[in-house]
């Protein structure tokens, strides 16, 4: 800053010296054009050397759009989510990573905890949100003993945890080859907690299995490709033993007795068995615009089978890990423009697509994903298009 001002002062002095070359009583006055040119040059030099203001830099670099009423400081409360905090400061909450200033001297710097004080500052003309030590607005090292699972989540766990406990997507081929319940004890058609059921199949070297029931096959509405099977998690069982003896139509398959250890719905004959794996959703991911190809991406289904979709509804997306999507990716929801008749030419014309909402992915499988609708400015529907919010926002 000192060097910049010094350069400007030197420029002004040179300008003044040039105007004072003629003796004061010679009758010769510098031309008005020269005077204006000199001072304009000095002024432009000041604008060039002076540090850019936050507003100027923001326009020059298309910086983040901060709400006019955004607070300068905010203390994180229990129950907050990253999306809530991002929306408090940003017009486009999916730009959170650009606002949040990571402190690399802190373990897990992307995590935020209840009680943290966040301060909005400007660095080189850009807004940044920093985590300060108690009573200090400087970004400084913080020793923390809190485990990562106490950090605030990206989105509310209460909206996704119950859904994920009972729903997921499995590969259609893997589900077809999985063992299944062939009979209940004493000929029962429905079995419950503590009952013995019998499964038939080619068993893996595991004893704990999850009982799932196919709900629907997921087909890409654009290409017709089978993306997986949407299944309902109904129970958990522990395999007791495997009974020997060949089965006439499948000599490699054997029958195993199993005890129902957990139950969410009654077990039925035909329910499929898959090994239990950890399916806990990662709740501390960051809201991000996607780094993926979203051509042809749409909302292909909604939990519960409703026809209209609103905020906090869970939807199924026809894109997944194969397209480089990941939990935390934020997608804009566009509704296709209506087709209307031009009153002048009487030809049919299609209106532009309309930005209608925003969703965040929270569970991503190989070819499909689950997302939670965070914003809906109008009723949404299956078939609505999904876009990169950076692209969609530019048209909204």
pLDDT in tens, 27-49: 444 444 544 444 444 444 443 33
Does residue 73 register a pLDDT over 60? yes
**Are residues 85 and 38 located together in one domain of the fold?**
no
Does residue 104 register a pLDDT over 50? yes
Average pLDDT, integer, range 332-337: 92
Q: Give the whole-number percent of the chain exceeding pLDDT 90.
A: 49
Q: Please report the pLDDT score of residue 26 as a whole number.
A: 42
CATH, residue 384: 2.40.10
Is 293 a domain residue? no
**Are residues 68 and 126 located together in one domain of the fold?**
yes
**Are residues 205 and 138 located together in one domain of the fold?**
no
Average pLDDT, integer, range 171-180: 94
Return all residues near 394 (Cβ < 8 A) that are at least 6 apart: none
**Are residues 21 and 102 located together in one domain of the fold?**
no
Please state, in angstroms and rounded to a whole number, the distance separating the CA atoms of residues 163 and 155.
14
- How would you class 309 by CB atoms within 10 Å of its CB: exposed for 0-12, middle for 13-18, buried for 19 or more? buried
Q: Please report the pLDDT score of residue 101 as a whole number.
A: 72
Q: Please report the pLDDT score of residue 7 as a whole number.
A: 45
Please state, in angstroms and rounded to a whole number, the distance separating the CA atoms of residues 161 and 155.
11
Please state, in angstroms and rounded to a whole number, the distance separating the CA atoms of residues 229 and 216.
6
Whether 209 contacts 236, CB under 8 Å: yes
Q: Please report the pLDDT score of residue 109 as a whole number.
A: 65
Name, of 42-56, 197-211, 316-330, the range with top average pLDDT.
Answer: 316-330
Q: Please report the pLDDT score of residue 244 as a whole number.
A: 58
Of the residues 152, 176, 203, the one at which a domain ends: 152
Please state, in angstroms and rounded to a whole number, the distance separating the CA atoms of residues 236 and 230.
18
Name, of 96-100, 253-257, 383-387, the range with top average pLDDT.
Answer: 383-387
Query: Residue 25 belongs to what domain range?
Result: 2-51
Does residue 25 register a pLDDT over 90? no
Task: Give 18's pLDDT tier (boundaries 50, 70, 90).
Answer: very low
The token pair that represents 79 in the structure block: 């129950």
**Are residues 7 and 73 located together in one domain of the fold?**
no
**Are residues 47 and 110 located together in one domain of the fold?**
no
Is 281 a domain residue? no
Q: Please report the pLDDT score of residue 249 as a whole number.
A: 63
Is 161 a domain residue? no
- Assign 55 to helix, strand or coil: helix
**Are residues 184 and 266 located together in one domain of the fold?**
yes
The token pair that represents 39 in the structure block: 């001072």
Q: Give the whole-number percent of the chain exceeding pLDDT 70.
A: 72
Q: Please report the pLDDT score of residue 275 as a whole number.
A: 93
Q: Please report the pLDDT score of residue 94 as a whole number.
A: 86
Is 97 a domain residue? yes
**Are residues 71 and 146 located together in one domain of the fold?**
yes
Lowest-confidence segment of 194-203, 226-235, 280-289, 292-301 by average pLDDT = 280-289
Please state, in angstroms and rounded to a whole number, the distance separating the CA atoms of residues 211 and 267.
8
**Are residues 12 and 92 located together in one domain of the fold?**
no
Please state, in angstroms and rounded to a whole number, the distance separating the CA atoms of residues 212 and 180.
9
Is 109 a domain residue? yes
Q: Please give the model's pTM, rounded to 2 decimal places.
A: 0.71
Backbone phi, psi, residue 368, to 5°: -150, 165
Is 56 a domain residue? no
Q: Which has more pLDDT, 56 or 131?
A: 131
Q: In DSSP terms, which residues pair with 376 in a beta bridge?
A: 357
Is 292 a domain residue? no
- Assign 239 to helix, strand or coil: strand
Of the residues 275, 310, 341, the one at which a domain ends: 275
Q: Please report the pLDDT score of residue 316 as a whole number.
A: 95
Average pLDDT, integer, range 94-103: 79
Helix (H) or strand (E) holding 49: helix 32-49
- In residues, how long is the chain? 396
**Are residues 173 and 266 located together in one domain of the fold?**
yes
Q: Please report the pLDDT score of residue 367 as a whole number.
A: 96
Average pLDDT, integer, range 191-208: 92
**Are residues 171 and 261 located together in one domain of the fold?**
yes
Of the residues 275, 307, 339, the one at which a domain ends: 275
Whether 148 contacts 107, CB under 8 Å: no
Is 117 a domain residue? yes
Q: Report the 3 state secondary structure along 264-329.
A: CCCEECCCEEEECCCCCCCCCCCCECCCCCCCCCEEEEECCCCCCECCCCEEEECCCHHHCCCCCE
Please state, in angstroms and rounded to a whole number, the distance separating the CA atoms of residues 328 and 361.
5
Side-chain half-sphere exposure of 79, counting CA atoms within 13 A? 0
**Are residues 225 and 254 located together in one domain of the fold?**
yes
Count the domains in the chain: 4
């Amino acid at each position: 800053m000192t060097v910049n001002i010094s350069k400007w002062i030197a420029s002004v002095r040179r300008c003044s010296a040039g105007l004072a070359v003629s003796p004061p009583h010679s009758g010769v006055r510098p031309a008005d054009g020269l005077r204006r040119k000199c001072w304009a040059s000095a002024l432009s030099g000041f604008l060039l050397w002076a540090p850019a203001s936050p507003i100027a830099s923001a326009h020059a670099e298309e910086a983040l759009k901060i709400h006019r009423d955004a607070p300068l400081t905010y203390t994180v409360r229990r129950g907050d989510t990253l999306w809530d905090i991002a929306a408090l400061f940003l017009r486009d909450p999916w730009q959170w990573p650009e606002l949040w200033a990571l402190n690399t001297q802190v373990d897990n710097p992307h995590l935020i905890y209840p009680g943290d004080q966040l301060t909005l500052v400007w660095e080189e003309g850009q807004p940044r949100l920093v985590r300060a030590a108690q009573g200090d607005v400087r970004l400084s090292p913080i020793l923390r003993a809190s485990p990562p699972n106490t950090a605030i989540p990206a989105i509310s766990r209460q909206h996704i945890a119950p859904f994920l406990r009972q729903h997921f997507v499995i590969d259609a081929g893997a589900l077809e080859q999985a063992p299944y319940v062939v009979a209940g004890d004493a000929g029962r058609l429905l079995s419950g907690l503590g009952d013995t059921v019998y499964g038939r199949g080619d068993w893996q070297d595991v004893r704990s299995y999850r009982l799932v029931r196919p709900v629907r096959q997921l087909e890409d509405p654009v290409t017709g490709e089978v993306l997986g099977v949407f299944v309902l998690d109904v129970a958990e069982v522990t395999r007791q033993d495997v009974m020997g003896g060949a089965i006439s139509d499948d000599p490699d398959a054997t029958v195993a007795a199993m005890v129902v250890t957990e139950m969410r719905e009654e077990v039925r004959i035909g329910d499929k068995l898959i090994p239990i794996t950890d399916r806990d959703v990662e709740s501390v991911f960051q809201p991000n615009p996607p780094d993926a190809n979203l051509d042809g991406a749409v909302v292909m289904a909604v939990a519960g089978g409703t026809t209209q979709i609103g905020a906090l509804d869970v939807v199924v997306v026809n894109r997944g890990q194969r397209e480089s999507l990941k939990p935390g990716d934020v997608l804009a929801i566009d509704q296709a423009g209506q087709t209307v008749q031009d009153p002048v030419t009487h030809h049919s014309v299609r209106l532009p697509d309309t930005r209608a909402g925003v969703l965040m992915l929270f569970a991503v499988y190989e070819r499909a994903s689950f997302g939670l609708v965070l914003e809906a400015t109008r009723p949404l529907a299956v078939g609505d298009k999904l876009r990169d919010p950076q692209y969609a926002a530019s048209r909204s």
